[in-house]
């Protein structure tokens, strides 16, 4: 069952007199419950694709259909509701609020999401039980990223979108984060989409989408994706 479809999607930007096609006539179909890696060099169009899926941007042409709904036709209010209920975001630099505790950073989603999960429950899911009263500055980079993932999970979304989630982490900590994200698909039936230029992460994927020069070059299913611990990091 496809949870994400892109139909002839183009996203253009203007820079002075130049028109730049960040994404050009993209067609894509992704199934629910998969670990998906969008792979490509800098400037390929990966982040544009992720922003369109996340409702952070709208296509210039074409349709973005998520769970049967064409979000490319949504109003700004409808997109805000979509971001609050359907998707969780995990960024490279965590985006935690430094003046809030770990628990507060996660629990804040209850103000925007209707069916959110208990903050203590998701902190336990990501291995941070007992850290709720700490502030982000008291945590390691890997722990802060786990708080970011817990905050995304607390919204109880169908889709988790990750933009270079291990880019600011050392190798061992990055493996911990990737193991957690892989478990989200296998144990909790979430659809995880990771944007990266790291070829090794692609070895873990159920589906690898390759993007270059604003075009989707290929979308391939891997019959035998590796567990994170099997990848030579």
Return the pLDDT at 114.
Answer: 80
Return the pLDDT at 170.
Answer: 85
Return the pLDDT at 113.
Answer: 79
Return the pLDDT at 196.
Answer: 92
Return the pLDDT at 111.
Answer: 83
Return the pLDDT at 28.
Answer: 96
Return the pLDDT at 102.
Answer: 97
Per-residue buried b or exposed e for 140-156, using 16+ beta carbons within 10 Å of the residue's own CB: ebbbbbbbbbbbbbbbb
Cβ–Cβ < 8 Å for 145, 95 = no
Q: What is the pTM of this model?
A: 0.90
Based on DSSP, count helices (H) and strands (E) in the chain, helices before strands.
7, 10
Binned average pLDDT, 10 residues per bin, the chain of 233 residues: 93 90 95 95 92 95 96 94 91 91 94 86 91 96 92 92 88 88 88 93 96 95 92 84
Between the alpha carbon of residue 36 and those of residues 96, 124, 172, 214, the distances in Å are: 25, 25, 21, 18
Return the pLDDT at 172.
Answer: 85
């Amino acid at each position: 069952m496809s949870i994400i479809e892109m139909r002839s999607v183009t996203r253009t930007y203007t820079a002075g007199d130049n028109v730049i096609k960040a994404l050009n006539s993209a067609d894509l179909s992704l199934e629910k419950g998969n670990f998906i890696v969008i792979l490509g060099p800098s400037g390929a169009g990966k982040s544009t694709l992720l922003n369109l899926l996340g409702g952070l941007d709208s296509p210039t042409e074409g349709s973005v259909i998520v769970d049967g709904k064409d979000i490319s036709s949504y109003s700004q209010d409808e997109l805000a509701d979509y971001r609050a209920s359907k998707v969780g975001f995990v960024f490279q630099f965590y985006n935690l609020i430094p003046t809030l505790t770990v628990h507060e950073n996660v629990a804040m989603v209850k103000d925007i999401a209707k069916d959110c999960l208990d903050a203590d429950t998701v902190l336990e899911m990501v291995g941070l039980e007992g850290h709720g009263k700490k502030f982000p500055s008291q945590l390691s980079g890997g722990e802060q990223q786990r708080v970011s993932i817990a905050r995304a999970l607390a919204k109880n979304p169908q889709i988790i979108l990750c933009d270079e989630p291990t880019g600011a982490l050392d190798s061992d900590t990055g493996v911990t984060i990737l193991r957690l994200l892989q478990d989200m698909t296998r144990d909790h039936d979430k659809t995880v989409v990771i944007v990266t230029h790291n070829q090794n992460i692609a070895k873990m994927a159920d589906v690898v989408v390759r993007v270059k020069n604003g075009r989707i070059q290929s979308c391939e299913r891997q019959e035998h994706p590796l567990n994170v611990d099997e990848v030579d990091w």
